[in-house]
Amino acid sequence: MALSVAALAMSCTTDDGDATTGTLSLTSEGVMRFAQDGGDGVINYTLQGAKSGAKVDAVCMSEWVTITEVANDIKFTVAANDLSEERTALILVTYGKQSEQVIVEQQGAPNVEFMASMLNGSFEKKDASHPDAYRYTVVLSKYGTTRDTDYYADDCYYKFYIYSSVPAMSDPYLPEGEYLFDAQSTYAVNTFAEDLSEYVAVDKEGNATATKIKGGKVVVSNNKIEALITLANDEVHSVQYNGSLNLNYLITVEKGPYSTLVQDYEFDLQSGAMILAYYGDEYMVGRGSWDIFFMEQAGGANGDFFRFSVIVDTVELDRKHIFRTFTADKMSTFAAGTFTPGYKYNGNNIGAWYILAENGYYTSTYACIVDGSITIEPDGDDIVVTADVIDDNGKRITGTCRCIYIEEYNRVGL
């Protein structure tokens, strides 16, 4: 099956002594590209001004291309390529002494065969850059990644930015289908774009080398991904993955622990403050996302400061939905009633953290919270948070914060 097609200017030759009448024109593209496993191709043509019964002929001198039928169109078959090099053939279409040509290009057998054990990625709604398609970021590797730019040492990462007409309705799953390489990065449906897709090799010291992809296709079927791609250095890679098509990221790649607590910590805050920030369906899972900050005093300039990112049952903007117990989402399920465990990304604190503030600055006393639970309850005009959590160094943080100063913000779209 043809992978992609590039336009080629057609040439046509005539001879004044030619007894045929009419003009031959090809309506197919002049370059047809096939995968290593070959497939069938069709050349379409027109004869304008020709007599009834006029016949077109087609011939190819390369034995791996077979012309199977010349009728209202021209059908041909491309054999599998057992060589690692790409190859090119020429199909000559003639009508009398008129001729036009089609170039057939085919990928070679893979130089590299890679079996991925991890699928990571994310989903994006349509926006101004890709108004006609939803974008799925797909990263295939051995060990996984927290984001599409975080890598483990001694691993390979195949990154595809796939465009589909199918939105993620709940948990983001990669839609089934065949996605062809888009050399022009038009972000068309059923393609993966050249500008963002690449192969990254990471050596044992953690040094990463990226190589662009210049051709290929990605086929997604039931719990399976097969990709055959050509890199900018002309290497052909065959990539396979078997498993869930759910798109999420690992919690962390950076080495911890980050916590500086040297012992368990207990707090009791009776005149605290809280900031609530609503982000809507931030993870495209059909559930609402809130960032919750509670602290010893308004503004967080001094004393204990906590932050949690939680998932609730609904996208409705109403603080009543946060009144429940949340547990650590250690498997990145984005399920309702969970909070994101703490981690670092590009040096920033993400997810659940405890920090001690002093005179408007964070001190060196802090904890990356990775397990446990928090319970949030209303009490009259106040909100009470009860925490029993564990940091990444095994220290336990427990206590209660009564928040008497509360601010709430809608951050959807910001």
Chain segment 63-85, per-residue pLDDT in tens: 999 999 999 999 999 999 988 78
pLDDT value, residue 397: 98
| Mean pLDDT of the chain, nearest integer | 89
Residue 112 reports pLDDT greater than 80: yes
Output 13 or 106, whichever has higher pLDDT.
106
What is the mean pLDDT of the segment spanning 102-128? 88
Number of structural domains the chain divides into: 3
Residues 216 and 317 in one domain: no
Asked whether the beta carbons of 41 and 75 are under 8 A apart, the reply is yes
Picking from 329, 324, 307, 326, the residue whose alpha carbon sits closest to that of residue 378 is: 324
Output 41 or 346, whichever has higher pLDDT.
41
Residue 346 reports pLDDT greater than 80: no
Q: How far is CA 119 from the centre of its chain?
A: 9
What is the mean pLDDT of the segment spanning 279-305? 90
Residues 82 and 116 in one domain: no
pLDDT value, residue 251: 57
Residues 305 and 332 in one domain: yes
Residue 6 reports pLDDT greater than 70: no
How many alpha carbons lie under 13 Å from residue 17 in its C-beta half-sphere?
Answer: 0
Q: Could you tell me which residues come within 8 angstroms of residue 332 by beta carbon, excluding any fewer than 6 positions away?
A: 248, 249, 250, 251
Residue 11 reports pLDDT greater than 50: no
Residue 257 lies in a domain: no
Residues 40 and 171 in one domain: no
Structure-block tokens of residue 342: 């703490």
Residues 125 and 231 in one domain: yes
Q: Domain of 402?
A: 265-410
What is the mean pLDDT of the segment spanning 400-409? 96
Residues 386 and 281 in one domain: yes
Residue 2 reports pLDDT greater than 70: no
Residue 230 lies in a domain: yes
Residue 14 reports pLDDT greater than 80: no
Cα dihedral sign for 310, 314, 316, 320?
negative
pLDDT value, residue 220: 96
Chain segment 293-335, per-residue pLDDT in tens: 999 988 877 899 999 999 999 999 999 999 999 999 988 888 9
For residue 189, what is the DSSP state? T
Domain boundary among 89, 106, 123: 106
Structure-block tokens of residue 366: 């802090």
Residue 105 reports pLDDT greater than 60: yes
Structure-block tokens of residue 279: 């982000």
pLDDT value, residue 79: 96
Residues 140 and 168 in one domain: yes
Share of the chain above pLDDT 70, in %: 91
Run of H or E residues at 101: strand 98-106
pLDDT value, residue 255: 60
Residues 273 and 397 in one domain: yes
Residue 45 lies in a domain: yes
Residue 354 reports pLDDT greater than 90: yes
Report how far residue 211's alpha carbon sits from residue 216's, in angstroms, rounded to the nearest whole number: 14
Low-confidence winner among 251-260, 319-328, 343-352 (lowest mean pLDDT): 251-260
Residue 252 reports pLDDT greater than 70: no
Report how far residue 177's alpha carbon sits from residue 86's, in angstroms, rounded to the nearest whole number: 25
pLDDT value, residue 67: 97
Domain boundary among 193, 209, 242: 242
Share of the chain above pLDDT 90, in %: 65
Residue 116 lies in a domain: yes
Chain segment 168-196, per-residue pLDDT in tens: 765 678 999 999 999 999 999 999 999 98
Residues 121 and 210 in one domain: yes
Domain boundary among 51, 74, 106: 106
pLDDT value, residue 1: 42
Residue 249 lies in a domain: no
Structure-block tokens of residue 273: 């403050």
Residues 170 and 73 in one domain: no
Residue 247 lies in a domain: no
In sequence order, what are the beta bridge partners of 400? 268, 386
Residues 154 and 236 in one domain: yes
Chain segment 392-404, per-residue pLDDT in tens: 999 999 999 999 9
Low-confidence winner among 55-69, 140-154, 282-296, 324-338 (lowest mean pLDDT): 140-154
Read off the pLDDT band of 352 (50, 70, 90): very high
What is the mean pLDDT of the segment spanning 115-143? 89
Residue 248 lies in a domain: no
Residue 148 lies in a domain: yes
Report how far residue 122's alpha carbon sits from residue 118's, in angstroms, rounded to the nearest whole number: 14
What is the mean pLDDT of the segment spanning 343-353? 82
Report how far residue 384's alpha carbon sits from residue 105's, in angstroms, rounded to the nearest whole number: 67
Report how far residue 89's alpha carbon sits from residue 104's, in angstroms, rounded to the nearest whole number: 5
Read off the pLDDT band of 412 (50, 70, 90): confident
Residues 349 and 214 in one domain: no
- CATH number of the domain within which 19 lies: 2.60.40.10
Show the CA angle centred on residue 365, arms to residues 362 and 371, nearest 5°. Answer: 110
Q: Is 18 helix (H, G, I), strand (E, B) or coil?
A: coil
